[in-house]
Amino acid sequence: MLGVISTSEALKLAFAAGLDLVEISPAANPPVCRIMNFGKFKYEESRKEKMARKQQSGSLVKEIKFHANVEEHDYQTKLRHIREFLEKGHRVKASLMFRGRENEHRDLGFELFKRLMKDCEPVGISVAPPKLLGNNLFLLLHAPHTVKKADAPSHQAPPPPANH
């Protein structure tokens, strides 16, 4: 800590020590500089960035597929997997594909997803209600701590589509 000194004096001190004058905080008044080995500084900064990227695990989206006529044991197994994924901080995409005559009973899929949202409530919440795209029904679940306040769910599931 040398205090506030002129730039030319700081450069002379750095040159005498065989080191570099590195500007640490240019926004400060006066700017903060440090006498150090610039190569070593850049190396340490890159290591810090690399470690930060390593620690930052991207939130993965795990997908669990259902059928409209899923048996109770299969449902419980899939529910257990969904809870494990949510506890690890992953997002979970639940999908249900209607095949053949199942298209006539789409309300069963909506009922299944309503039940799934209710069963996952302690560890995961749905930001949006289930979406029907063609013959597929989708639901995206998040861990509660990863959802922003603005994205909070409305807690109302849409009514199932009318059968044609």
% of the chain residues with pLDDT over 90: 20
Domains contained in the chain, number: 2
Do 93 and 146 belong to one domain? Answer: yes
Q: What's 19's domain CATH number?
A: 3.10.20.80
164 found inside a domain = no
Mean pLDDT of the chain: 83
Token pair 């005559």 in the structure block, residue: 101
156 found inside a domain = no
Do 133 and 69 belong to one domain? Answer: yes
Start-end of H helices in 7-158 = 7-17, 38-55, 72-87, 106-119
Do 40 and 83 belong to one domain? Answer: no
Residue 127 lies in domain: 61-151
112 found inside a domain = yes
pTM of the model: 0.55
